[in-house]
Amino acid sequence: MIDLYAAPTSNGLRAKIMLDETGLDYTLHPVNLLEGANKSEEYLALNPMGLIPTIIDPDGPDGTPMTLTQSMTILTYLATKTGKFMPDHLATDMIFWRNTMSIATDMT
């Protein structure tokens, strides 16, 4: 089961929505940004940048646990892991990456 550390921000919700849409089992660990939970020693051990979201997938590539940060990295990882939402044609792939980068840089 994947562990998701997130707050109810656009970045945190991106990861939660993708986990819901891919149907992967996960546990949500709310991170209270107002109380500074993202700056705690415990959280910084998971994500030294102190940002949300963070996921920990105990069943990562080749069965190796994987910790990921940055919402767009997480979305791409989950899509690739499940085979959902990823294009299978070069032109479509480029449209996917254009839209992904647009979301990452232009939407907050």
Rounded CA-CA distance 56/96 in Å is: 25
Peptide bond into 61 cis (omega under 30): no
pLDDT over 80 (residue 105): no
Which of these, 65, 84, 71, lies nearest to 22 by C-alpha position?
84
pLDDT digits (tens, 9 = 90+) for 17-46: 999 999 999 999 999 999 999 999 999 999
- pLDDT value for 107: 67
CATH of the domain at 17: 3.40.30.10
Q: Could you read off the pLDDT of 62-95 as tens digits, one per residue?
A: 999 999 999 989 999 999 999 898 777 777 778 8
Number of domains forming the structure of the chain? 1
Q: Which domain holds residue 76?
A: 2-106
